[in-house]
Each structure stands twice: as C-alpha cells, then as structure tokens.
C-alpha cells in the first residue's frame, strides 16, 4: 500500500457556494491529507438553494486539462463527478485509457437535489458504456442507479441487492449503492458489492438539512483513501468521515437553503 502523500485528480463541475462539486472534492481531499488537482467539466451557477444553470466546457478543452495534469503530476486516484454530456464522457474515458489511470471513483451525478438535470439524457449511455467499466468503484444513489439501468427506482433493501448485482454486471470492479433515499428506518444502509460479496454498511441517519454535497464528499473521500487502503476499508473510512462532516454541519452558517457539510470538522470548529 502507498505511504507517500497521495495526489488525487477530480474531474467535475463547479459550485460557487463551495459545498459540492470541485470545491467539495478539494476540501475532502485536503481534509484527508491528499494533494488535490482538478479538471473542470462545467461551470455551474448554484448555491444552497439549488442549481440555476450551467455551461459545459468543450470536450477537447476538458481533455486538455486532464492531459496537462497527467503528463506532469503523478496521480494516484481520480474522482469523476459531473460529466454534463456525452462528448465530455468520451473525452474523459479516452484520457483515462491513454494514461492508464488506476483507482477511479465514479460518482454518476445526474440530478441535483433541487431537481435540475446535470447530465444530458443522451449522455447516460456514454457514462454507462464508457466510464462505468473503467471505475474501481461506482457510487450511485437509488435514482441514479435506476437511470443507469433503465429501471424503476428501488425502494427496499431486497430490491437494492438485485440492483447492486445488475450494476456490477455493467463492468465496474465494485459498486457502492447508496440507500439514503430509502425511508422508514433510523439507519441508512449502503451496499458494497464486488460481484461475490454483498457488504451492508449501515449508519444512523442525522437530522439535518445541511446535506448539500454529500455524494461529492463521499466519493472524493473514497478516492483520497483508495491508493493507501483496500476498497472496503476505504469505503468504510470515507463513510465515517462523511458522517462526522454531516454531524458537524450545524456548526457552519452558510446559505439560506440546504447547507454544506463541515469538511474540516476535525481541524477547526467555531469558537
């Protein structure tokens, strides 16, 4: 396992309010002791109350950003977030294959909590066919899993187990199917599946509205930890980090809507 400082590249969209996207990824990498590099796919006008609009960058320019980093900096893991369109998905996949990147964490960002679509409908196939098979870990929530599989969302743990198997057959090494959308339980259960084992990871639900950027934070934390740990250990540690950041989110006073997590809860607290 790697012991020297880890360099992680995030490929994602922006969040000018600082709670999600590239900004959340960089905070998560930094809080966990990794060096952050970034390539931007889209510039997003959003805040804690929702997404207003976004402008996707040209696929060739996204590819040029990735090349600029990978041709100069040793990158130990890559986290992929908002892809925006099929052209960008193709550009990312091509560069990851060209540079033989290992430790890829794919968070298939499709719809913001506000309901704003962050992925063109025609791009779903590109994400599914080009990026999912390159992933060491893919981290969909239940609505995202349904879109990737062309199925109705599952709303029970038994259905989640079936969906996790179907997602694994799309080609990733591991699937982390997040169960936060399941209701009626004091715990949130995620399923981690490698085609053989189905590992249930439960955590108590936290009563807070400050959940802006939870998916970005979890996938970024996994990427920051993956080069120095196995997948299961990385996912468990990333979930613990995100849970603590979520629990401390009330210490922040950011925005009028769904506030961000406290990514640096272990480093500073309000006085």
Residue 248 gets which letter from DSSP?
T
Length of the chain: 271
Q: Please indicate, yes or no, if residue 265 is contained in any of the structural domains.
A: no
pLDDT, tens digit (0-9, with 9 covering 90-100), for 9-50 = 999 999 999 999 999 999 999 999 999 999 999 999 999 999
- Tell me phi and psi for residue 120, to 5 degrees: -60, 140
Tokens of 255: 């925005």
Residue written as token pair 């609009």: 53
Q: How far apart are CA 264 and CA 266, in angstroms?
A: 5
CATH number at residue 77: 3.40.1190.20
Q: Which domain holds residue 198?
A: 7-251
In the predicted model, residues of the chain with pLDDT beneath 70 are 1-3, 112-116, 184
Residue 12's beta-bridge partner residues?
A: 40
Measured in whole angstroms, the distance separating CA 72 from the mean position of its chain's CA atoms is 24
Q: Is 43 exposed, middle or buried (0-12, 13-18, 19+ CB in 10 A)?
A: middle
Overall number of domains in the chain: 1
| Partners of residue 176 on adjacent β-strands | 192
Instruction: Flag whether 270 is in a domain.
Output: no
Mean pLDDT of the chain: 93
pLDDT for 9:
98
Tokens 């098979």 belong to residue: 133
pTM value surpassing 0.85: yes
Q: Can you give the pLDDT at residue 99?
A: 97
> Sign of dihedral through CA atoms 38, 48, 113, 125?
negative
CB-based contact 181:111 (threshold 8 Å)? no
Residues 6+ apart with CB under 8 A from 113: 50, 211, 212, 258
Q: Any bridge partners for residue 138, and if so which?
A: 106, 175
- CA dist 131 and 138 (Å) reads 9
Helix (H) or strand (E) holding 35: strand 35-47
Considering the domain boundaries, does residue 256 fall inside one? no
3-state class of 9 per DSSP?
Answer: strand
**CA of residue 70 relative to chain centroid, distance:** 20
Residue 264's contacts (CB-CB under 8 Å, 6 or more residues apart) are 27, 30, 31
Report yes or no on 100 lying in a domain.
yes
Q: What is the pLDDT of residue 113?
A: 62
Q: How far apart are the first and last CA of the chain?
A: 38
Residue 31 lies inside a defined structural domain of this protein: yes
Contact present, 177 and 191 (Cβ < 8 Å): yes
Residue 207 lies in a domain: yes
Is residue 266, in this structure, part of any structural domain at all?
A: no
| Cα–Cα distance, 45 to 52 (Å, whole number) | 5
Q: Is residue 145 a part of any domain in this protein? A: yes
Phi then psi dihedrals of residue 176, to 5 deg: -115, 100
Report pLDDT for 1.
58
């Amino acid at each position: 396992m790697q012991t020297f400082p880890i360099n992680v590249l995030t490929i994602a969209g922006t969040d000018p309010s600082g709670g999600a996207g590239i900004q959340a990824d960089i905070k998560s990498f930094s809080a966990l002791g990794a060096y952050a590099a970034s390539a931007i796919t889209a510039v997003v006008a959003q805040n804690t109350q929702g997404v207003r609009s976004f402008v996707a960058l040209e696929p060739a320019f996204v590819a040029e950003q990735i090349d600029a980093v990978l041709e100069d900096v040793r990158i130990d893991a890559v986290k992929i977030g908002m892809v925006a369109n099929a052209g960008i998905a193709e550009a990312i996949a091509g560069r990851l294959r060209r540079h033989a990147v290992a430790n890829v964490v794919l968070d298939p960002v499709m719809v913001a909590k506000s309901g704003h679509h962050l992925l063109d409908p025609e791009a779903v196939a590109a994400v599914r066919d080009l990026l999912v098979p390159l992933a060491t870990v893919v981290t969909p929530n239940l609505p995202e899993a349904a879109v990737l599989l062309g199925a109705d969302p599952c709303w029970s743990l038994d259905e989640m187990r079936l969906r996790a198997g179907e997602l694994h057959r799309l080609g990733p090494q591991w699937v982390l199917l997040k169960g936060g959308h399941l209701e009626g339980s004091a715990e949130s259960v995620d399923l981690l599946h490698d085609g053989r084992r189905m590992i249930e990871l439960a955590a108590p639900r936290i009563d807070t509205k400050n959940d802006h950027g939870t998916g970005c934070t979890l996938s970024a934390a996994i990427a920051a930890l993956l080069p120095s740990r196995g997948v299961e250990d990385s996912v468990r540690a990333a979930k613990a980090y995100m849970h603590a950041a979520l629990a401390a989110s009330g210490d922040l006073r950011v925005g009028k809507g769904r506030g961000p997590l406290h990514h640096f809860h272990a480093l500073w607290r309000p006085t």
